[in-house]
């Protein structure tokens, strides 16, 4: 499985954009980038995923570099409830072991008033 590298922690002011980086330099052409977050003592929550193009949904935006070796998750207006551990995961195709998700250490985002 391709591995990802994320900063262990980040702070963000409430109301500002939170930009969470992720390096995945060994990603293969058919592997997707997925983002999940985990609020303390809960199961991970799906945020967004992408292959090549930038993606946006109601929660966040995902910016993937042209060479696909890194990506950035953007929370446009962070709130205190966005405080969580954010995981960037490179996911194998479904035909490869069911497309399982292997979690790294993630980034602990603290949104401060």
Binding residues for other proteins, per CB under 8 A?
36, 38, 41-46, 49, 87, 94, 97-106
Query: Closest distance between other proteins and the C-beta of residue 13, in Å?
Result: 25
Nearer Cβ to other proteins (7/104): 104
Query: Closest distance between other proteins and the C-beta of residue 87, in Å?
Result: 8
10 within 8 A of 107, measured Cβ to Cβ = yes
Nearer Cβ to other proteins (14/101): 101
Nearer Cβ to other proteins (16/52): 52
d(CA 61, CA 47): 9
Cα atoms found within 13 Å of the Cα of residue 47, Cβ hemisphere only = 26
Query: Closest distance between other proteins and the C-beta of residue 59, in Å?
Result: 10
SS3 category, 98:
helix
User: What beta strand segments (E) does the chain contain?
Assistant: 9-13, 18-23, 32-38, 45-50, 55-56, 61-64, 70-75, 84-91, 107-112
Query: Closest distance between other proteins and the C-beta of residue 102, in Å?
Result: 6
């Amino acid at each position: 499985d391709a591995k990802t590298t994320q900063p262990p922690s980040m702070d963000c002011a409430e109301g500002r954009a939170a930009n969470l980086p992720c390096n995945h330099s060994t990603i293969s052409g058919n592997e997707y980038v997925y983002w999940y977050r985990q609020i303390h003592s809960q199961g991970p929550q799906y945020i967004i995923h992408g292959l090549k193009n930038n993606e946006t949904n109601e929660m966040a935006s995902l910016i993937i570099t042209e060479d696909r070796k890194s990506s950035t998750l953007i929370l446009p207006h962070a709130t205190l409830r966005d405080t969580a551990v954010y995981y960037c995961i490179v996911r194998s195709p479904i035909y490869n072991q069911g497309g399982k998700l292997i979690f790294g250490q993630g980034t602990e985002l603290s949104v401060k008033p």
